[in-house]
Amino acid sequence: MTWRRGLLVTACLLGAAPVAAQGTAASKAPATAPAPPEAASRPRFAWPRVQVIDTVQANEIVEAGGIPVALRAVHAKERMDDLVQRFADAFLQAGLHVPPGHEQPQLASGAVMLTAIDGHRGITYTVIFQPRPDRTTMMYLGEANHALRRDPAAAGDFAPMPPQASQVLRVNSESSRTLAFHVPLSGEAVDAFYAQALTRAGWRLEEGETSFYVRPGEELRVVHEPGEAHQRAVVLVYRGGRSAPPPPPGPAATPR
């Protein structure tokens, strides 16, 4: 997986994992509630040190499911097993809640995901560890602030979804917008749906491509793969230069 895809995966997983899963009284408080005194006196979690080969810091805060997420990718010299243990120990020593292994999402390609929860501050920390053939490790680190969550709006989606779509997740950044969901359709049916819907909206397939659509100044890629329970996992990625596409025209807003 490339570092860009890894950062996107981290953002989606963070946005889909509510901090309330810890079940503490603090996690059930309103999103605007201040942190309790004991949380303010305790230092924020600091990522443990690793032997860095290369690092990529996202230059923007991504919004996943209405949750702001800070992301970065790190290529570390250490083996994956050593790093997983180091990060798990660091989470526990910082007093964070680490869900048991069976509650941590399982990833493909030998990757390991580890999430910890600061229920007092409403922050989740997630690391995806991806082993490399040379025994080094790619790590995708994400910090999601659930206390600042806002309801993501469906209005203004850059593309339609099939009527049966579920588990919808919207990820927005300054340079792109992503729409991810599951649908009980075959790959051929997904392709047919978007070939018709996007063509009707003025998109055309780029020459030599089967899932990459373009309009003047805009591009849209449709990616899908088999999911669980006969579902298809679909991801649409929109890029429109430096800015997101404008929302569809509607009634003029009343000045305040």
Those residues with Cβ within 8 angstroms of residue 207's Cβ, 6 or more apart along the chain or in another chain: none
pTM over 0.75: no
- Alpha carbon distance 234, 221 (integer Å): 11
Which one, of 128, 77, 108, 103, lies nearest residue 18 by Cα? Answer: 103
Burial of 207 (0-12, 13-18, 19+ CB in 10 A): exposed
62-114 tens-digit pLDDT = 766 677 778 888 899 999 999 999 999 999 999 999 988 777 776 666 888 89
Q: Identify the sign of the CA torsion 82, 86, 87, 88.
A: positive
Q: Could you tell me if 197 and 236 are in contact, meaning their C-beta atoms sit under 8 angstroms apart? A: no
8-60 tens-digit pLDDT = 555 555 544 544 444 433 333 334 344 455 555 678 899 999 999 987 765 55
The single residue listed with the structure tokens 């048991």 is 100
Residue ranges per domain, the chain? 3-148, 166-239
Which CATH number applies to 166-239?
Answer: 3.30.1370.80
Pick the CATH number of 3-148 from 3.40.1130, 2.160.20, 3.30.310, 3.40.1350: 3.30.310
3-state SS class at 53: strand
Tell me if domain 3-148 and domain 166-239 are identical in fold.
no
The single residue listed with the structure tokens 């009980």 is 184
228-242 tens-digit pLDDT = 778 888 989 898 853
What pLDDT does residue 57 have?
Answer: 60
Percent of the chain, pLDDT > 90? Answer: 32
